[in-house]
Structure 1
Amino acid sequence: MFKKILIANRGEIACRVIKTARKMGIQTVAVYSDADRNALHVSMADEAIHIGPPPANQSYIVIDKIMEAIKASGAEAVHPGYGFLSERMDFAAALEAAGVVFIGPPSGAIEAMGDKITSKKLAKEAGVSTVPGYMGLIADADEAVKISNEIGYPVMIKASAGGGGKGMRIAWSEAEVKEGFESSKNEAANSFGDDRIFIEKFVTQPRHIEIQVLADKHGNCVYLHERECSIQRRNQKVIEEAPSPFLDEATRKAMGEQACALAKAVGYASAGTVEFIVDGQKNFYFLEMNTRLQVEHPVTELITGIDLVEQMIRVAAGEKLPFQQSDLKINGWAMESRLYAEDPYRNFLPSIGRLTRYRPPVESVTPTSVVRNDTGVYEGGEISMYYDPMIAKLCTWAPTREAAIEEMRLALDTFEVEGIGHNLPFVGAVMDHPRFVKGDITTAFIAEEYPDGFQGAVLDEPTLRRVAAAAAAMNRVAEIRRTRISGTMNNHERHVGVDWVVALQGESYHVSIAADREGSTVSFSDGSSLRVTSDWTPGQPLASLMVDGRPLVMKVGKIPMGFRLRLRGADLKVNVRTPRQAELALLMPEKLPPDTSKYLLCPMPGLVVKINVAEGDEVQEGQALATVEAMKMENILRAERRGTVKKIAAAPGASLRVDDVIMEFE
């Protein structure tokens, strides 16, 4: 077995590999750019080597710099993680030439399957069902339009060396093909150093289901069942689960056997994933093979009990797989929510800055539940604009899908993140969405269920009542503290009333509180009541309560006459007033937000790549106005209505903050 390995990656996946290596007694070497000097993976590793400036194309994906770090450290093997160099055949070949073991498949398998154009050709030759498309190289946007017209719209424009949604666009018209082709090429070049593009038919209403395979160097290959990855935005996965709620055993077996056959055909050895799209009749089509570890691998580990990183290391060291296909059973259900530094209220645009508060839920393992959090950040750390916006992967396991979802709900409500925009509210809302709960999902879920963007969850009546009861009980605790403080100062104690009006989400509940040593009974005007118990004290940012015998977890902030409460994807302003105060509050005028309709504001921190218009130009609704790049993604900003450009305030190359003015309209 290896004594020392280098991890050619950063963030949560580098930390993940370090944990397994440490468990196996293997020393680790981290690499880092200027931006990652204080990163978590650097402090976790036994050694750390600096490799260059923040941009990945000047550090993490420069093969020569990684090779220098390997030589300096004396590492015997390299784990590439995912992204960056993980699917670069020339990197694997360089390691082989240097006598360093690549903890991944042979370079020939990467060449055959890592390239999406080649892999589709090989899959078709092997009799695997593939999506209609054009697998040749595409010279320019005009050729892309011609090919798209022949295939039929909609089409998917994809980077051949792509992954993680980078270099990928869906086009529904000739104009969108031209625009998408150029953006995909740019993103692919910046992210992978390879701007080759291919086009295929976009299958509407598909489910994205992938098979995890594991093969050794002795001809053995198994599949570790499937993962459902259909909750996606901008073609990047957000929520994954294992197994899929859609597959039956026969389809699962057919997909698994086909995936293994494909892996064996290219001499595969290591962990890999064969991705399929599956239609409503359970017909499945080969999409691509990722010749690396997947971001969502933890859900497979949770239902199989197998450490995939450990098996990758053991296979690379020449060991045989210690199990056969018949040994691999599905145990329970697992969920994964990807926590991204992306603001769901701004169409998931990237957010950067300092994590002023980062308190993940406590990781735990019991016979009936597991909470796991794979992360690469810490409180006080910076989220950089140079890399992928992932903060953490929160995973839960339980014996059933329903129980795994409930575990995830509570874990998400417990997760505290402040200082940046993030998608915790969104994934929390999805966990309560009726379609998701039923398993009725496709890759179009977000577009269909949130066509106007995510504006926060709307809680149902039973949940609202539970929150109202909790807020009333919490307010009573806060009032008692206030009366004691004022009583100490004024030598008398103010009486705390029992009647209150709780206003939230457009509803008002008239309640009365009867308190005892164990908690409070909150009675509503319709005669119903809820029992509330908790050890929450004023000032605590997280409240864990029992309401009506069931747990309720909320993030708590103080506002005048109440609280800001966040849970289940909702961000609530909750006012708790006396009946007289509630009466007077109805007479107060509503404060309106400022009018910004005459400005194009930068929706995220980033660099201006392109300004498409000039001062005095008339623009039409939907017209491209500017392109802003952040976290390796190009974002095209469009006109919301007809108008005339009065002033342009930013030029290409400018670095902008959120809400900086790009241009003004007449």
Structure 2
Amino acid sequence: MFNKILIANRGEIACRVIKSARKMGIETVAVYSDADRNALHVKMADEAVHIGPAPANQSYIVIDKVMTAIRATGAEAVHPGYGFLSENMKFAEALEAEGVAFIGPPSGAIEAMGDKITSKKIAQEAGVSTVPGYMGLIEDADEAVKISRQIGYPVMIKASAGGGGKGMRIAWTDEEAREGFQSSKNEAASSFGDDRIFIEKFVTQPRHIEIQVLADSHGNCVYLHERECSIQRRNQKVIEEAPSPFLDEETRRAMGEQAVALAKAVGYTSAGTVEFIVDGDKNFYFLEMNTRLQVEHPVTELITGIDLVEQMIRVAAGEKLPFKQEDLKIHGWAVESRLYAEDPYRNFLPSIGRLSRYRPPAEVSEPTHVVRNDTGVYEGGEISMYYDPMIAKLCTWAPDRSRAIEGMRNALDAFELEGIGHNLPFLSAVMDHPRFVSGEITTAFIAEEYPDGFEGVTPSNGGMRKLAAVAAHMKMLREARAAQISGAMQHHARRVEPNYVVFLGRKTFPVHVVTTDEGTTVTHEDGTVDEVRSDWTLGDVLFRGTVGGDEMIVKVNFGRGGVRLRWRGAEMKAVVRTPRQAELAAMMPEKLPPDTSKLLLCPMPGLVVSIAVEEGMEVQEGQALATVEAMKMENILRAERKGIVKKINAVPGASLAVDDVIMEFE
């Protein structure tokens, strides 16, 4: 076994690898850029080596710099994590030439499966079901349009060397094919250094289901069942679960056997994933093979009990797999939510900044309940514009799907995060969405259920009443505290309060409140009674307790004139007033937001790639105006309505902040 390994990556995956290595008694070496000097993976590793400036193409993906760090530390093996150099054949070859073990597959398998065109041909030869498409290279946008017409819209335009949703576009028309070809080509060039593009048929009503495989160098290869990854935005996964609620045992076995056949066809060793698109009739088609550890690997670990990172290390050290296919059973259900630094209220655009508060829920490992949080950040750390915006991967496990989802709801409610835009509200909303709960999902879930973007959640009437009861309970505790300080309060076993009106957003809830030593009894206008029981005290940012007998975890933030409550994806300001105060408040004028209808604002921090119009030009609704790159993704900004460009304030190459004015309209 190795004595020391280097992790050629950063963030949560570097921390994840360090945990398994430490458990195995192996020393670890971290590498870091200028931006990651104080990163969590640097603090966790036994050694750390600086390898360059913040941009990944000047540090993390520069093979020579990583090789220099390996030589300087005497690392015997390298785990590449995912992304960066994990599927770089030249890196694997450089390690081989240096006599350093690559904790991953052979370079030949990386080459064969890393090219989507080649991999599809190999899959066909191995008897794996594949999607119809054009396998040749495409020279320009005109040829892309011609091929798309021949295949038949809709089509998927993909970077041959792509992954992680980058370099991918869906086109339904000639115009979208032309535009998507160029954007995919640009993203592929900047992310992978390879701008080759191919096109295949886009399967409608698709589910994204992938098979985890694991192989050693002694001819043994197994599949560790499947993961459902259909909840995606911009072709990047957001929520995953294992197993899939859609597959039956026969389809699962067929997909697993085909995945193993493909792995054997390319002489695969280590952990890898064969991704499939599955239609509504359970027909499945090979999508790609990721020759690395997947982001969502924890859910597979939770249902199998197998540490995939440990097995990757052992395979790289020449050991045999300690289990056979018949040993691999599915135990319970696991769900993973990817917590991203992106604003769901602004079309999931990236957000950067400092984590002023980062308090994940406590990790739990019990026979009936597991909470796991894989992360690479800490409170006070920064989310940089240079790397992927992932903050953490929150996972829950339970004996069945419904309890795993309920565990995730509670874990998300308890996750405290401040300082940046993040997708916690959206993740909570999905967990409560009837379509997700039923398991009737496709990769179009977000587009279909939130066609106008995510606008938050409005709880049911029952949920609103419970939040009103929580607000009333807090009001009474604050008043009791004030009375104690003033010396005006005398102890009574029971005290009847006057009526109150709780304002929640635009709704009002008249309540009658009675406080006792046990808690608060809140009676609503319709006679419904909620008993509030909690040990919450003033200053706590999480309310934990029961309301009407139901457990609730509510995030609390007191501010001027009220308290902000966040629960199950909903966020609203609560104000508790006397009936007279409520009457006067109704007379106050409403403050309107500023008019920005004649401005194109930058929706996220990023770099201007191009400006598609000129001053004085008339633009139509939906016309492309500018392209902004943020966190390695290109975002095309379009006109919301017809107008004339009055002034352009930004130029290509400019670095912009959120809401910087790119152009103005007459």
Question: What's the TM-score, normalizing by structure 1?
Answer: 0.98
Give the whole-Å Cα distance in 1 for the aligned partners of 2:592 and 2:505: 17
Moved more, 80-89 or 501-510: 501-510
Does the aligned pair in 2 maintain the 1:227–1:300 contact within 8 Å?
yes
Structure 1 spans left out of the alignment, 5+ residues: 490-494
Q: Does the 8 A contact of 1:561 with 1:577 survive in 2?
A: no
- Indicate the residue corresponding to 1:196 in structure 2: 196
Report deviation, 1:455. Answer: 0.5
Backbone CA RMSD of aligned residues = 1.3
- Find the counterpart in structure 1 of residue 95 from structure 2: 95
Q: Distance in 1 between matches of 2:570 and 2:527?
A: 27
1:294 partner SS: coil
The answer on 1:537 being equivalent to 2:537 is yes
After superposition, give the CA deviation of every residue in 1:158-191 in whole Å (9 maximum; x if it has no partner): 1111111111111111111111111111111111
Matched, 1:179 2:179: yes
Tell me, yes or no, if the aligned pair for 2:210 and 2:273 is still in contact at 8 Å.
yes
Contact 2:496–2:515 at 8 Å: present in 1 too? no
Show the counterpart of 2:298. 298
Q: Percent identity among equivalent residues?
A: 79
1:444-495, CA deviations, whole angstroms, 9 ceiling, x for partnerless residues?
Answer: 0000000000010111122112111111111111121123334479xxxxx9
- Residue of structure 1 equivalent to 2:44: 44
Q: Which residue of 1 aligns with 2:274?
A: 274
Task: Identify if the C-alpha distance between structure 1 residues 517 and 273 changes in structure 2 by more than 3 Å, giving closer, same or farther.
Answer: same
Secondary structure at the aligned position of 1:31 is classed as strand
SS at match of 1:254: helix
Aligned to 2:592: 592
CA contact (8 A) 1:480 1:496 kept: no
> Secondary structure of 1:497's partner?
strand
1:247-262 equivalent positions in 2, closer than 5 A: 247-262=247-262
Counterparts of 1:48-447 in structure 2, within 5 Å, are 48-447=48-447
Partner residue, 2:654 = 654
Paired AA for residue 593 in structure 1: P
Matched residue SS, 2:497: coil
Q: Report the alpha carbon displacement of residue 517 of structure 1 after superposing the two structures with TM.
A: 1.5
SS class of match (2:227)? strand
Instruction: Give SS of 1:91's match.
Output: helix
Aligned mates of 2:486, 2:429 — CA distance in 1: 41
In structure 1, the residue matched to 2:492 is none
SS at match of 2:588: coil
Give the C-alpha shift of residue 503 in structure 1: 2.0
Query: What is the distance in 2 between the residues matched to 1:129 and 1:93?
Result: 31
Aligned partners of 1:466 and 1:71: how far apart in 2? 61
Which residue does 1:554 correspond to in 2? 554
For residues 541 and 453 of structure 1, what CA distance do their matches in structure 2 show?
29
Contact 1:158 1:197 in 2 (8 A): yes
Deviation at 1:548, TM superposition (A): 2.1
Retained in 2: the 8 A contact 1:561–1:576? no
Cα pair 1:478 1:537 within 8 Å, conserved: no
Contact 1:104 1:270 in 2 (8 A): yes
The Cα shift of 1:560 comes to 4.1
Whole-angstrom distance in 1 between the partners of 2:366 and 2:579:
46
Q: How does 1:604-615 map to 2 (within 5 A)?
A: 604-615=604-615
Task: Map 1:442-457 onto structure 2 (within 5 A).
Answer: 442-457=442-457
AA at the equivalent of 1:145: V
User: C-alpha separation between the residues in 2 aligned to 1:259 and 1:312?
Assistant: 18
Residue deviations 1:610-665 (CA, integer Å, cap 9, x gap): 11111111111111111111100111100000101111111111111100101111
Partner of 1:510: 510
Which one-letter code corresponds to 1:558 in the other structure? F
Alpha-carbon offset, residue 528 of structure 1: 1.7
- 1:116 to 1:590, Cα distance in 2 relative to 1, 3 A: same
Q: Does 1:522 align with 2:519?
A: no
Aligned to 2:33: 33
Deviation at 1:515, TM superposition (A): 1.9
Q: Which residue of 1 aligns with 2:642?
A: 642
The corresponding residue for 1:11 is: 11
Match of 1:476 in 2: 476
SS class of match (1:170): strand
Match of 1:294, as an amino acid?
A: Q
Matched residues in 2 for 1:521 and 1:115: separation? 64
Q: 1:437 Cα shift?
A: 0.5
Residue 143 (structure 1) shift: 1.3
Specify the code of the residue in structure 2 equivalent to 1:393. K
Distance 2:299 2:317 in 1: 25
Note if contact 2:206-2:279 (Cα within 8 Å) is conserved in structure 1.
Answer: yes
Q: Residues 556-600 of structure 1, C-alpha deviation per residue, up to 9 Å, x if partnerless?
A: 111344311011111111121112211222222211111000100
TM-score, structure 2 as length reference: 0.98
Instruction: Give how far 1:549 is off.
Output: 2.3
Q: Return the alpha-carbon distance in structure 2 between the equivalents of residues 374 and 583 of structure 1.
A: 49
Q: Do 2:496 and 2:513's aligned partners in 1 also have CA atoms closer than 8 Å?
A: no
2:551 matches 1:569: no
CA contact (8 A) 1:614 1:645 kept: yes
**Aligned-partner residue type, residue 385 of structure 1:** M
Deviation at residue 505 of structure 1 after TM alignment:
4.1
| 1:492 matched residue in structure 2 | none
Deviation sequence 1:181-217 (CA, Å, 0-9, x none): 1111111111111111111111111000000011111
Q: Distance in 1 between matches of 2:2 and 2:640?
A: 58
Greater shift after overlay, 173-182 or 213-222?
A: 173-182
Q: Which moved more, 1:479-488 or 1:69-78?
A: 479-488
**Cα distance, 1:36 vs. partner?**
0.8
SS at structure 2 position matched to 1:20: helix
CA offset digits 1:125-180 (Å, max 9, x no partner) = 22211111111111111111111111111111111111111111111111111111
Give me the whole-angstrom Cα distance separating, in 2, the residues matched to 1:131 and 1:141: 22
Q: Give the whole-Å Cα distance in 2 for the aligned partners of 1:415 and 1:511.
A: 30
CA distance in structure 2 between the aligned counterparts of 1:93 and 1:614, rounded to whole angstroms: 48
- The offset of 1:81, in angstroms, is 0.3
Is the 1:231–1:240 Cα contact (8 Å) retained in structure 2? Answer: yes
Which amino acid letter does the alignment assign opposite residue 341 of structure 1? A
CA distance in 1, matches of 2:483, 2:580: 19
1:583 aligns with 2:548: no
Aligned amino acid, residue 108 of structure 1: G
Deviation at 1:76, TM superposition (A): 0.3
User: Match of 1:382, as an amino acid?
Assistant: E
- CA distance in structure 1 between the partners assigned to 2:279 and 2:202 by the alignment: 12
Q: Which whole-Å CA distance do the structure 1 matches of 2:137 and 2:59 have between them?
A: 28
Correspondence for 1:500? 500
* Aligned mates of 1:463, 1:369 — CA distance in 2: 25
2:117 aligned counterpart, secondary structure:
helix
Cα deviation for residue 536 of structure 1 reads 1.3
CA contact (8 A) 2:497 2:514 kept: no
Length, aligned pairs only? 661
Contact kept? 2:496, 2:514, Cα under 8 Å: no
C-alpha distance in structure 1 between counterparts of 2:351 and 2:496, whole Å: 43
Q: Within 5 Å, which residues of 2 pair with 1:624-635?
A: 624-635=624-635
Q: In structure 2, how many angstroms separate the alpha carbons of the residues matched to 1:230 and 1:596? A: 35
Measured in 1, the distance between the counterparts of 2:428 and 2:664 equals 36
Counterparts of 1:486 and 1:232, CA distance in 2 = 55
